[in-house]
Structure 1
């Protein structure tokens, strides 16, 4: 569905799939609601019977006992129904959060480039929370309210048709006003949730760079940015509140008008002897029974509109296609990932005339071809913006190729299951991200079955043993949010250790020594040399000293391969490489 302003919209059709797994408890709650409604509808008749018993000189006790039993039983049923409804609503929120989180974590990488993290987070948190009220005060309450309302109308018609006519006219006017007012609640509610998402994104942006903000003296400005975003969220929330506030007075006026009209006309008809006092009392009680569910239905409808506004944002995420495992247009099922070739004669990885451009048309790679033989070490060098990191991202399958092909052991990677291919790859990003938790948590991310001796061995390989042993907690020492308790070099070495632990056939390293001092760089070079004995390495490097002993160095410039060879060959043949090497005192 699409709203009039072009934004995606959601209705009951989109809500039902979320409720379907919980249909049994919801049907149970609806059944209990009907029982409670029947108990409520019986009470005015029992009150009228008690009044008639007094007037006729009969025993009052049986009517009073019956009334008390019905009131207590209806209250107990209603209480259990509310508990069941609340529990089911929490279940709906839980299952929706899991579904949304699952989809968020499986989106193509390009989606994360286009969207703000804080806004995506609000879909899991704030938006799903609004579904709770949609279930508890929405669907089931509307059903129960309709049953009680219809039952009250039938009973009122049996008591006196004229009083019913007056009631229906007054209530209909109020309902019409409420319906016209609440029409815009869903649209305004969605806008409010959009502003909450923007505010969450602003907070996430500020917190993720809080040290830079403090060091730049920009704290006050960032506070103003977040405050302005919060102000827009407040204004949007006030617009929703203003519209919702009109609903209550409209309903109150209708109710009070109906009550006064029934009281006046009913008093006249009692005086005229048309109806009895007991009938008038019963009618007024039925009027209250009509008014209460009517108010509940109006509130439930408003809550439903608010929830549907949030559901539209949830559906927007669920409507995004997850990352495809294999290229569907090739018309064949994904094949098993072939093992690494036993000889260097056959490339483990091959890029054949690969081109890539972002959706806005910005070209990054133009006809790049290179091969990484099994067990070899290939380096990508060149000036910033040459496309080196993009090559690694394409090998990982983070983005679709614009042209050309990437082959693994001779098979197009678009025909291979991504999970299987990535299990053969180790990838260390330039920023070397470290997850909040412990050293153990980070190491087990790619190798969950690794033993403690294996963890200590890989830490020794990257020179982190002493760092971890500084704490009595050992492998369980916390690293802080985004690894803030580690130095930049320690974070990078931990990320490399994490990749080595999974024993990949091909290790992709993006600036592995960017944050290392000379001593640790030498240690890491030794580690990579040892790693290259039984696996291939594709290394992106600005610091050429890291890759001097590579089997092949590929020079990129402007998204194209401009030279390739060993260090000695490139110093002689490539002016660009010679310039880069001279700047680092390597020639």
Structure 2
């Protein structure tokens, strides 16, 4: 194992371990069916344990010359009933297990989608996907082959032990020595299964992350002729997962033969000692046959219980990884007590600007805001400016000045380090996040397009939008051609990540999606970064149209898109260095004049 892998394994061992009580919440919603399964298990165990006694009665009756037809009939009934009960129990267990997996995946998906953005920054996507997929699958085995096989096996073991002890204490003593030896050997090995299983699941998560990384960047990898290197990286991760799985397999392979040898030895001893006792008249043939049948009812459930214990250990290792996700606080868990919720934006194409009314407060206000990403240096320093309602404010400056970070703070993807951001005069930390974001339309710099249809992408922000509204917003951003050029119309596929669209079309689709929700404030991060001159002009006209009814805060590298903004805020190294209109800044700000000169906006 590599040093890095060893360190990861050490961190895994130091994590919180969970026990059987941690399974209770996962089974709580299925307690009705589980109660039926428990009853079926008890009845089935009783039917099985009665069979050796009936067999003894048949043998003894035949030896004494009595009729045994009734006993044989009862024995057949018990055999058939036991098989039917076992089949029904197994079906109900499988159904419950599938339900547990479904519920867990649903909860995990909901929890993962509500984690703070900082968690996505720090964790690998593939590992999180592995917890939803591979780890939850192991919970199925915990329910079907773990908990209930342990319970059922325990019932059978106790019943068989009592019956064997009553039939012949001496034979029971002979049996107990061999069985106990096999059980101890199995438990000693099985105790290591949990740690090894967790390690194997962790390696699978790392392998999934590596594959996800390679597939996501497939075009870049091919263009860089890096297929072999990336394949080697995936192979390395897969090899680590293989090695971890092999360690589990080796341990499991040792448990079976060691336990079986001890049990078979006890069986041979019972045959030898029992035969001698039959010969000297201490017990009857019927007693010996019944004892041997009880021995099988003891040994087989013990073997099942041991395998169930190993399954349980593997499942608990996976459950630890699942519980780690559930223990992560979701976004908003540490919010201040929420004030009255702000009204949510609807689907309507026009909404009154935020901040209007009696208060006269700015739509957005940054008051001495400071911020730095976790573990990194400060990004913003004492940023102060206001965005009046119904106006356009542009953020410009060199790359890394902190422009996009300001939009992330408004959306509360991250919390301000110092200072305050206000919406219509209220600290955004005093607003419920859903109410805050209902007032904001946010278009990212690299706005994602979801795999699916054009209609599905547009309705992401407005699930109740009509086709007429969809076409109207496509017209606003000069994107109607996507629907018109295909006979499928709004149901045309856009491909994984929008690969069937151009870069400019993906950007405009993201803007259309945001406009459709009708928020009073638009946050646009480089809205024209992927547009040619023609589409940039069309989008500028669309922005001009919506700006009449909304407040806009725009991050721009192309100053041509914001020269007519009501206010331009110039940022440099996380600080506001100038504020004004285009004409004012070309005269008062050296940095802005330099940016404008490079883009041929001033001579």
What TM-score, normalized to structure 1?
0.97
Q: Which position in structure 2 is the counterpart of 1:342? A: 356
Q: Which position in structure 2 is the counterpart of 1:15? A: 23
Displacement, 1:11?
A: 1.2
The answer to whether residue 395 in structure 2 is matched with residue 380 in structure 1 is yes
Cα distance in 2 between the residues matched to 1:431 and 1:177: 58
Asked if the contact 1:120–1:197 (Cα under 8 Å) also holds between the matched residues in 2, the reply is yes
Asked if the contact 1:26–1:140 (Cα under 8 Å) also holds between the matched residues in 2, the reply is no
Q: Which position in structure 2 is the counterpart of 1:451? A: 466
Displacement, 1:326?
A: 6.9
Asked if the contact 1:326–1:333 (Cα under 8 Å) also holds between the matched residues in 2, the reply is no
Q: Which position in structure 2 is the counterpart of 1:75? A: 83
4+ runs deviating over 6 angstroms: none
Cα distance in 2 between the residues matched to 1:8 and 1:484: 42
Displacement, 1:411?
A: 0.6
Asked if the contact 1:552–1:564 (Cα under 8 Å) also holds between the matched residues in 2, the reply is yes
The answer to whether residue 140 in structure 2 is matched with residue 104 in structure 1 is no
Asked if the contact 2:354–2:551 (Cα under 8 Å) also holds between the matched residues in 1, the reply is no
**SS of alignment partner, residue 271 of structure 2:** helix
Cα distance in 1 between the residues matched to 2:161 and 2:547: 83
**SS of alignment partner, residue 231 of structure 2:** helix
Asked if the contact 2:12–2:199 (Cα under 8 Å) also holds between the matched residues in 1, the reply is no
**SS of alignment partner, residue 188 of structure 2:** helix
Q: Which position in structure 2 is the counterpart of 1:316? A: 324
Displacement, 1:22?
A: 1.1
* Equivalence map 1:188-199=2 (5 Å): 188-199=196-207
Q: Which position in structure 1 is the counterpart of 2:552? A: 537
Displacement, 1:4?
A: 8.5
Displacement, 1:346?
A: 2.7
Q: Which position in structure 2 is the counterpart of 1:126? A: 134
Cα distance in 2 between the residues matched to 1:325 and 1:240: 38
Displacement, 1:174?
A: 1.2
Asked if the contact 1:326–1:334 (Cα under 8 Å) also holds between the matched residues in 2, the reply is no
**SS of alignment partner, residue 399 of structure 1:** coil
Deviations 1:530-568 (Å, cap 9, x if unpaired)? Answer: 111010000001111111110111111111111111111
Asked if the contact 1:382–1:555 (Cα under 8 Å) also holds between the matched residues in 2, the reply is yes
Q: Which position in structure 1 is the counterpart of 2:348? A: none
Counterpart selection for 1:352 from 356, 367, 378:
367
The answer to whether residue 183 in structure 2 is matched with residue 175 in structure 1 is yes
Cα distance in 2 between the residues matched to 1:108 and 1:405: 19
* Equivalence map 1:36-51=2 (5 Å): 36-51=44-59
Cα distance in 1 between the residues matched to 2:39 and 2:197: 31
**SS of alignment partner, residue 370 of structure 2:** strand
Cα distance in 2 between the residues matched to 1:530 and 1:326: 39
Q: Which position in structure 2 is the counterpart of 1:489? A: 504
**SS of alignment partner, residue 98 of structure 2:** helix
Asked if the contact 1:155–1:286 (Cα under 8 Å) also holds between the matched residues in 2, the reply is yes
Asked if the contact 2:355–2:423 (Cα under 8 Å) also holds between the matched residues in 1, the reply is no
Q: Which position in structure 2 is the counterpart of 1:440? A: 455
Asked if the contact 1:386–1:559 (Cα under 8 Å) also holds between the matched residues in 2, the reply is yes
Asked if the contact 2:126–2:210 (Cα under 8 Å) also holds between the matched residues in 1, the reply is yes
The answer to whether residue 70 in structure 2 is matched with residue 62 in structure 1 is yes
The answer to whether residue 531 in structure 2 is matched with residue 516 in structure 1 is yes
Displacement, 1:3?
A: 8.9
The answer to whether residue 211 in structure 2 is matched with residue 203 in structure 1 is yes
Counterpart selection for 1:503 from 518, 522, 530:
518
Counterpart selection for 1:231 from 230, 239, 242:
239
When residues 127 and 326 of structure 1 are mapped into structure 2, their CA distance, relative to the original with a 3 A threshold, is: closer
Q: Which position in structure 2 is the counterpart of 1:565? A: 580
Q: Which position in structure 2 is the counterpart of 1:34? A: 42
Displacement, 1:342?
A: 2.4
**SS of alignment partner, residue 14 of structure 2:** coil
**SS of alignment partner, residue 552 of structure 2:** strand
Q: Which position in structure 2 is the counterpart of 1:214? A: 222
Cα distance in 2 between the residues matched to 1:374 and 1:4: 52
Cα distance in 2 between the residues matched to 1:266 and 1:342: 96
**SS of alignment partner, residue 363 of structure 2:** strand
Q: Which position in structure 2 is the counterpart of 1:575? A: 590
When residues 97 and 506 of structure 1 are mapped into structure 2, their CA distance, relative to the original with a 3 A threshold, is: same
Q: Which position in structure 1 is the counterpart of 2:193? A: 185
Displacement, 1:361?
A: 3.6
The CA RMSD measured in Å over matched residues stands at 1.4
**SS of alignment partner, residue 5 of structure 1:** helix
Asked if the contact 1:345–1:373 (Cα under 8 Å) also holds between the matched residues in 2, the reply is no
Deviates more, 1:128-137 or 1:50-59: 50-59
Cα distance in 1 between the residues matched to 2:437 and 2:338: 18
**SS of alignment partner, residue 49 of structure 2:** helix
Displacement, 1:362?
A: 1.8
Displacement, 1:61?
A: 2.1
**SS of alignment partner, residue 383 of structure 2:** strand
What TM-score, normalized to structure 2?
0.95
Asked if the contact 2:369–2:418 (Cα under 8 Å) also holds between the matched residues in 1, the reply is yes
**SS of alignment partner, residue 549 of structure 2:** coil
Displacement, 1:574?
A: 0.9
The answer to whether residue 155 in structure 2 is matched with residue 147 in structure 1 is yes
The answer to whether residue 300 in structure 2 is matched with residue 295 in structure 1 is no
The answer to whether residue 477 in structure 2 is matched with residue 462 in structure 1 is yes
Displacement, 1:27?
A: 1.7
Cα distance in 2 between the residues matched to 1:240 and 1:27: 33
Counterpart selection for 2:273 from 249, 254, 265:
265
Counterpart selection for 2:338 from 317, 320, 333:
333
Cα distance in 2 between the residues matched to 1:3 and 1:147: 39
Cα distance in 2 between the residues matched to 1:199 and 1:4: 16
When residues 474 and 93 of structure 1 are mapped into structure 2, their CA distance, relative to the original with a 3 A threshold, is: same
